[in-house]
Chain A
Amino acid sequence: MNVIEMNQVTKVFGKHHALDGLDLAVKSGEVFGFIGPNGAGKSTTIRVLLGMLRATNGSATIFGKDVWRDAVEIHRRIAYVPGDVNLWPQLTGGEVIDLFASLQGQMNERKRDELLARFQLDPTKKCRTYSKGNRQKVALVAAFASDAELFLLDEPTSGLDPLMENIFQQCVAEVKAEGKTVLLSSHILSEVEKLCDRVGIIRQGRLIECGTLNELRHLTRMRLTVETRVPIESLASWKGVHSVEQTNTGWAFQADADEMEAIMRKLSEHGIQKIESASPTLEDLFMRHYEETVESRKA
């Protein structure tokens, strides 16, 4: 069953198409990673789902209900954490958390206190004195202390230090274990890799790729630099090898993940003296996609 369903959703601001026929489906009980560069439409998607923005065209539902018309009803069962948490300077963190909880209609005191301790947040401080990371924690505590069934997290770790990021990941794992659904928007690939069952890539307002991480692996390439005893010839013509460059001492190239085994076998025939590999970054993934669209246009 799909918790979130978006069909051909378009959102136009003036002449700018922020969303351009977006299709998205998030299944019940999964952690869905929503990745894309800045300005790709991640936040717009989430704000449409929240009923803050009215889609120009297309349909969007959460729990089978219309996100615009039934916003309040939907919101009773979801928790939202924005990437940039703006709070009221004159309220304390504790007050804000309680306010959120009561606006939601649910309150779990024990969970709240436990989360405050885990995130090491002092609830008696005025929000004016909080750093970006601490404001983020306020929103995270409020979200995870609720009994929501769906979590909409829009780059929720952007101000957190690595320790806190780790606790955040534990929290996500816990709600997942309880069978809840998470939509996690991010541009940090490692975070998405660790947490997500399925990943969707958004670019220029469209979902250009969607699937499990394994399904997406075929898109990823390793970046390799090698030095061999025997000079390699015709490297560029090997299967699965791309973007070959000759360096002072050897070669630098990209290799398709599914051809890695064959490439390594061939390389070792030349006597590897030194090899370095870098895992593909989100950027590589996008670069790859970008190249493909350019190439397909040429063809």
Chain B
Amino acid sequence: MMKGNFAGTLRLSRFIMRQDRWRYVWWIFGIVAMTIVVPPALDQLYPTEQDREMLAETMKNPVMTAMVGPADLTHYTLGVMVSHQMLLMTGIAVAIMNILLMARHTRSQEEEGRAELLHSLPIARNSQLTASMLVLVGVNLLLALLISIGLYSLSFDSMNWWGSFLYGMALGAIGLFFAGVTAVCAQLAESSRGAVGLSFAVMISTYLLRAGAESVPPFGWLTKVQPYSENNGLAVIALVVGSLVIYFLSIILHAKRDLGSGFLPSRSGRAHASVLLRNPLGLAWRLERTAFISWTIGMLVLAMSYGSVLGDLENFFRSNEMFASLIVADENSSLALQFLPMLMSVLALIGTIPALLAIHKLAGEERRLRLDIILGRAVSRVKLLAAFVALALISGLLMLSFSALGLWLAAKVSMDEPFAFQTVLQASLVHFPAVVVMIAISTCLIGVAPRATGLVWLYLFYGFLTAYLGGLFQFPEWMEKLSPYGYVSKLPIEQMNWLYVGRLLTMAAVLLVSGFNRYNNRDIQG
């Protein structure tokens, strides 16, 4: 019985590990590094008990509890602070890692026909699933141990071994839980995209539900662990048991279905194209619809979370006489207003990502050799490129608008003296010329060097560095001016600089023209 159900499992595990070892290394390295750098940073920012108590004060509101979970706010030691601020967010990162890896090991293998090859060998029916689970148990365990040891080795007084151990194990357990969830989703959906989408839907909905009712698994259990204060080991055990149950469910489902099929049948689609899908712009929209909608919602939520912090900020400064006396200096603009340009600039940088993805889709289409069949019809290259550029511009505009909307909405609820919508919208839309320049750079690259379109991401990252960290590290001004975002007026605390807007748009026009020109005159890959 053992042999029949698990034949070849260990050999297969080794094979999976061999294929993806670097992927594991980078994921684990990223998450561990992200965890280890936080305590020293927080220790520097809030060195005394008084500082921490002040922060704890600002955490005493339902918005923050909904976002990061409950904590012992009366004894807000460094350890409590770290686990309060970081555990849930890191848990989501670990969950994403497990979802992507699990889908990759199971559904993708099946989808691309590799599973069929493997299953023709003398291995058990379950072995691909079991081997994947086995590998991910190892990966999560390694991650958990590295985090435990890493946190403990920082040797802060409030971060003892038992707490550090539970912190790591809690993250490993939430990872295992979502590996299980994905294993089930991989049986339900018929494609790996479907499996990943379904798993993400479970992750997001359980996260949101937990904000409403604290004990909704699995994230509700994760925040119950409360390392360094409650040290609730039972919650970790509950997570592990839960993941085992889910994993067995996936085995049962797997045994009941044919290779390549799923429990949720793929719906049959339309036999005819809708009126929308009858030109290049319609095609571009159709290809990017899902990404477009999810990014819009994502931007709205992110901006709302920023907006809700503004209210806390307001309270924080009001409750501190020392700060209050500092702000009086500039009565015309509240302190929260001073923060607005910085928040909007970060949102604008993030909002540039979907706009660039929209234009890069065209390069992807060429790489997948799908352009001949379009350009082989009565479609000019200019028209095709223009469709994707237009969609990118719309995307940029939409992201900026929804950032403004989200921030304004949340600020309206959380602040005593909320901003006018117009103020927020202007502070956001002022970034549009810079976004246009970024889109123009991508367009130019697609025309001139289609293989090097990735370079624009480096440039965007540079924009992040100068905008986000420029103040902190006091970069010289010329470094900021190397990025288009360095030419954006800081509305509403600065005057609008129309000269800069003119320069950015001229720059964009030059790049666009050269991009279109080259695109029209080069070979199409095929």
Contacts and interface: CB of A to CB of B under 8 A. Distances in A.
Interface string A16-53: 00000000000000000000000000010001001111
A72 B372 contact: no
A124 B269 CA distance: 5
Contacts of B277: 91, 95, 98-99
Given A54-B521, A54-B523, A75-B379, A85 B373 contact: yes
Nearest to B280: A103
A124 B270 contact: yes
Contacts of A169: none
A205 interface: no
Contacts of B374: 103
A43 B526 CA distance: 9
Interface string A90-121: 11101111111011110000000000000000
A98 B524 contact: no
A92 B271 contact: yes
A107 B280 CA distance: 17
Contacts of A128: 191
Contacts of A123: 271-272
B378 interface: yes
Interface residues of B, number: 35
Given A72-B379, A94-B270, A125-B269, A100 B373 contact: yes
B108 to A, nearest CB: 13
A245 B278 CA distance: 63
A52 B375 contact: yes
Interface in B231-288: 266, 268-274, 277-280, 282-283, 286-287
Interface in A221-249: none
Interface in B346-400: 368-380
Contact of A94 (B272, B278, B282): B272
B378 A72 contact: yes
Contacts of A126: 266, 269
A76 B375 CA distance: 11
B436 to A, nearest CB: 28
A104 B372 CA distance: 13
B192 to A, nearest CB: 10
A75 B377 contact: yes
B379 A98 contact: no
Nearest to A100: B377
A87 interface: yes
Interface string A63-94: 00000000111011010101011111011101
Contacts of A129: 266
Contacts of A139: 373
Contacts of B521: 54
B370 A102 contact: no
Contacts of B272: 94-95, 98, 123
A73 B283 CA distance: 21
A226 B370 CA distance: 52
A54 B273 CA distance: 32
A99 B271 CA distance: 12
Nearest to B368: A86
B362 to A, nearest CB: 13
Contacts of B377: 75, 80, 100, 103-104
Of B274, B283, B368, B371, most buried by chain A (CB within 10 Å of CB) is: B283
Of A78, A98, A123, most buried by chain B (CB within 10 Å of CB) is: A98
Contacts of B287: 88, 90
Contacts of B268: 92, 122, 124-125
Given A80-B372, A99-B283, A124-B271, A52 B378 contact: no
Contact of B524 (A52, A73, A82, A103): A52
Interface string B286-320: 11000000000000000000000000000000000
Given A75-B377, A95-B270, A97-B273, 12 more contacts: A47-B524, A50-B372, A52-B526, A75-B378, A75-B379, A86-B370, A86-B373, A95-B273, A95-B277, A98-B272, A102-B279, A124-B270
Interface of A: 43, 47, 50-54, 71-73, 75-76, 78, 80, 82, 84-88, 90-92, 94-100, 102-105, 122-126, 128-129, 139, 152
Interface of B: 191, 266, 268-274, 277-280, 282-283, 286-287, 368-380, 521-524, 526
15 contacts: A47-B524, A47-B526, A50-B375, A52-B371, A80-B372, A80-B373, A80-B377, A82-B373, A92-B268, A94-B273, A103-B279, A103-B374, A124-B270, A125-B268, A139-B373
